[in-house]
Amino acid sequence: MHLDDILKLDIKLLVAFVTIMEEGSVSRAAERLGVTQPALSKSLQRLRDLFKDSLFTRQAYGLSPTARASELHDLIQPILNSLSELMSPNSLDLKNLDRRFKLRVDEGDLENFIEPLLASLQYQAPGMRLSISSWGDSHLDELVSGNVDLGIMRINDTPGNVRSKLIGYMEACIILSEAHPLYHKEELTVTELLSHKVVTHHLRNNRNSTFSKTEQKLKQQGHCIQPDLETDSLMVAMQAVKRGMALVTSRSIGDLFLQIMCEKAHFYPVKLLPIPKEVLELDEYSGRHPIHIFWHERFNNDLAHRWLREQIIYFMRESPWMHPPV
């Protein structure tokens, strides 16, 4: 059958044909379909013209299908079944889901949800696999290209085809060890902080960062924000703090850092200090920066994708370091 012939097919005609086959009567088929008998008789005539066969012959007990009709029924029924499945609501079978998701999230944000998420996957979706790594320089390009399924970041602007949802707000902190010259102080000024070596952990300075405006204001006041060391490695940050550098990082990493240091032998005592007040006064978020989760539009109605991102959002909002959205 050529394309022109296919275009002549009407789903309603196929439904009418199968119903007549099942009922063996035009009148009973018409009643079942909620149409008049003359209307269904016209549909039957169209079918006969289309397939160039009488399709049914009249018998004392009703209509009897021809050999061609029986052959067509075996071909048409699977098509209607497939169309029925096509229109059925999607369902998600987590237990049998076999799928890999790629996530881009920095360590400070990952600490908010990874433990309960892994427990949830173990019991609810044991076949789901994760690939998790930190953000590179490409930022949201990997989401747009389809190389990444989900991302979590502190940025404001996103492309039109990338969806986002505000999870909540997080704050940063300063970590000092006893090796730092200002360890004895309970809070620092910006000048004091920058007068000694500083290391940052997963704090990105770019034009889309939520901290970029605050950084510009600090520069106008003569404060040059240039860390002596930038790292995505917690081990590197630990060694820098051990050698007297001030670590600026998220509060979640700060608490994790304290926990690790308390258990680590032969390490200087460490403590957490708040971000300098001058920074908070200039910051449009007053130190609590918004955390968003991002995904491409193509995954918006993907049930497995939606389940995963809703799990992450829930666990992050339950985290002790996350301030809920207003």
Distance of alpha carbon 133 from alpha carbon 100, whole angstroms: 14
Contacts of 201 (CB under 8 A, 6+ apart): 107, 108, 231, 232, 234, 237, 247, 248, 249, 250, 253
Residue 325 lies in a domain: no
The residue segments making up the domain with residue 108 are 99-317
From 52, 87, 122, give the residue that closes a domain: 87
Are residues 233 and 264 located together in one domain of the fold?
yes
- CA dihedral (67, 68, 73, 79) in degrees, to 10, reads 150
Residue with tokens 């060694």: 239
Helix axes 11-23, 26-33, angle to 10 degrees: 130
pLDDT of residue 183: 93
Residues 294 and 238 in one domain: yes
Rounded distance, CA 33 to CA 290, Å? 56
55 assigned to some structural domain: yes
User: Sorting pLDDT into bands at 50, 70 and 90, what band is 85?
Assistant: low
Q: What is the pLDDT of residues 126-138, one digit of tens each?
A: 999 999 998 877 6
Of the listed ranges 8-12, 103-107, 198-202, the one predicted with least confidence: 8-12
- Do 191 and 266 lie in one domain? The reply is yes
**Mean pLDDT along residues 133-162:** 81
Question: Tokens 């608490």, residue?
Answer: 255
54-63, 65-74, 192-201, range with the lowest pLDDT: 54-63
Range scoring the smallest mean pLDDT among 112-116, 155-159, 170-174: 155-159
Query: Tokens 């799990």 — which residue?
Result: 311
pLDDT for 269-295, tens place per residue?
A: 889 999 999 888 888 888 888 999 999
Q: Are residues 75 and 110 in the same domain?
A: no
Please give the pLDDT value at position 6.
Answer: 64
* Residue showing tokens 């502190």: 154
Query: Domain containing 56 — which CATH number?
Result: 1.10.10.10
Q: Is residue 196 part of a domain?
A: yes
199 with 141, same domain: the answer is yes
Closest Cα to residue 272, out of 185, 201, 203?
Answer: 185
CB-side exposure of 247: number of CA atoms within 13 Å? 32
| 150 has pLDDT over 90 | yes
Q: Which of 87, 122, 155 is the last residue of a domain?
A: 87
DSSP string covering 179-208: TSTTTT-SS--HHHHHTS-EEEES---STT
Question: Which of 65, 87, 109 marks a domain boundary?
Answer: 87
CATH of residue 253's domain is: 3.40.190.290
Beta-carbon contacts of 151 under 8 Å, excluding residues fewer than 6 positions away, are 103, 104, 105, 135, 140, 142, 143, 293, 294, 295
Are 147 and 34 within one domain? no
Q: Is residue 296 part of a domain?
A: yes
Q: Is 93 within the bounds of a domain? A: no
Rounded to 5°, angle at Cα 189 from 196 and 276: 110
Least confident of 97-101, 137-141, 215-219, 262-266: 262-266
- pLDDT of residue 266 exceeding 80, the answer is no
Do both 148 and 255 map to the same domain? yes
Considering the domain architecture, whether residues 71 and 171 belong to the same structural domain is answered as no
Contacts of 112 (CB under 8 A, 6+ apart): 170, 252, 315, 316, 319, 321, 322
Mean pLDDT of the 22-43 span: 88
Residues 182 and 126 in one domain: yes
Q: Is residue 114 assigned to a domain? A: yes
322 is a domain residue: no
| 189 alpha carbon, distance to own chain's centre | 39
User: 147 and 212, same structural domain?
Assistant: yes
Cβ atoms of residues 192 and 275 within 8 Å: no
Select the more confidently predicted residue: 299 or 210. 299
Does the structure show a pLDDT above 90 at 116? yes
Same domain, 55 and 152: no
Backbone angles phi, psi at 280, to 5 degrees: -65, -35
Q: DSSP state, 94?
A: G
Contact yes or no for 270/168 (Cβ under 8 A): no
What is the mean predicted confidence (pLDDT) over 70-93?
Answer: 79
Number of domains in the chain: 2
The answer to whether residue 94 is domain-embedded is no
**Of residues 25 and 101, which shows the higher confidence score?**
101
Say what the pTM is: 0.70
Instruction: Examine the pLDDT at 231 and tell me if it is beyond 60.
Output: yes
* Amino acid at residue number 130: L
Percent of the chain's residues with pLDDT above 70: 91
261 and 191 housed in the same domain: yes
What is the model's pLDDT at position 9? Answer: 72
CB 273 within 8 A of CB 188: yes
Percent of the chain with pLDDT over 90: 36
| Mean pLDDT rounded to a whole number for the chain | 86
Backbone angles phi, psi at 172, to 5 degrees: -100, 175
The predicted pLDDT at position 309 comes to 95
